[in-house]
Amino acid sequence: MNALTIKALGFAALLIIATIYVVMSMDIDLTDRVNAIAMGGAIAIAVITAGVVVKYVNQMKTDTATGELMEDNWDGIGERTNELPSGWAYTFLAVFFWSMWYGLIGYPVDQYSQIGEYNEEVIAHKATYEKKFENATPEMLTDMGRSLYFVQCAPCHGNTGDGLSGKAQDLTKRMSKAQILDVIKNGSNQLKYPMGMMPPGMASGQDAEDIAEYIAGGLKGEAPTAYAACTSCHGADSKGNAGMSPDLTGYDEILIKHTLQNGKKGIIGAMPSFKTMITPIQEKALTAYIQSIAQ
């Protein structure tokens, strides 16, 4: 055993000891498959690195060029037509065939991945979360909703829910006059209510202005005559006709649910769907909090 081999083995041992020390100091659970595989991989890399260094440094000391010298050169440095080292070629082929096997057979058969394990843990956590808070009080729901709002909603709707000066929906009020006029003119079916799309052009001119003014003002006072066209779908009380269409009076649970599940077109871009991110209890919590900040 020459000096180079001894040094390489010493370096590999040092890497292994350092790896073990770091893992132990961080109190990492090695009974977990992923952690155990990562630990084994780190040790294997240290050993392989030492072996490769010894092999190729020794080879550089003893090997001589045998291939034909090519005509092209740069400042006297030329290239010989040596064959690709068999070790590199076989390693490449082994990795290629292994990757094909793993992608087409190994992974589907084993059906294990960190992402899959994470998703299973998330599903289990959501089930525990739903069970824990299934009987939450209104006050508790509002507090939970506040936390959810600041993580998921505040970046676009603002900390106070004002929509960041028109960049997103102002949650402190149901709709602005401009929004209502836009829906009257162009129709809407973004939220996928059972009654279907509100057709465009339900009213125009002064009638549209009167309807928009009435809804934006909180439906206070006497409704304009043209508003009768709205009650046929939204109900005489304007609360959505038992969930068949949007509630115009405020943010009820059905409206929040449809918005979270379907997303919505906005000024700064489309609000994405949150149906895979928000649980039913969290929907109730967000509803409670948004209702608490709406005027």
Question: CA 18, CA 53: separation in Å to the nearest integer?
Answer: 19
Determine contact, residues 200/187, Cβ cutoff 8 Å.
Answer: yes
pLDDT for 6: 83
**241 SS3 class:** coil
Determine contact, residues 16/41, Cβ cutoff 8 Å.
Answer: no
Sign of the dihedral defined by the CA atoms of residues 200, 202, 208, 212, in that order: negative
Mean pLDDT for back-to-back runs of 10 residues, the chain (295 residues): 79 86 84 84 87 82 76 78 82 91 73 77 91 93 95 93 88 91 91 92 93 94 93 94 94 93 80 89 94 86
Determine contact, residues 261/276, Cβ cutoff 8 Å.
Answer: no
Domain positions in the chain are 1-60, 131-293
pLDDT for 87: 81
Determine contact, residues 81/70, Cβ cutoff 8 Å.
Answer: yes
Query: For tokens 């080292």, what's the residue?
Result: 85
Neighbour tally for 196: CB within 10 Å: 11
Q: Cα-flanking dihedrals φ and ψ of residue 41, to 5°?
A: -65, -40
Instruction: Give which of 51, 62, 61 is closest to 87, Cα–Cα.
Output: 51
CA distances from 178 to 215, 220, 271, 289 (A): 11, 18, 19, 25
pLDDT for 45: 87
DSSP result, 148-212: HIIIIIHHHH-TTSSHHHHTS--TTSS--HHHHHHHHHH-B-TT--TT-PBPS-SS-HHHHHHHH
Q: Which residues contact 37 (CB under 8 A, 6 or more apart)?
A: none
Question: CA 75, CA 92: separation in Å to the nearest integer?
Answer: 32
Global pTM reads: 0.61
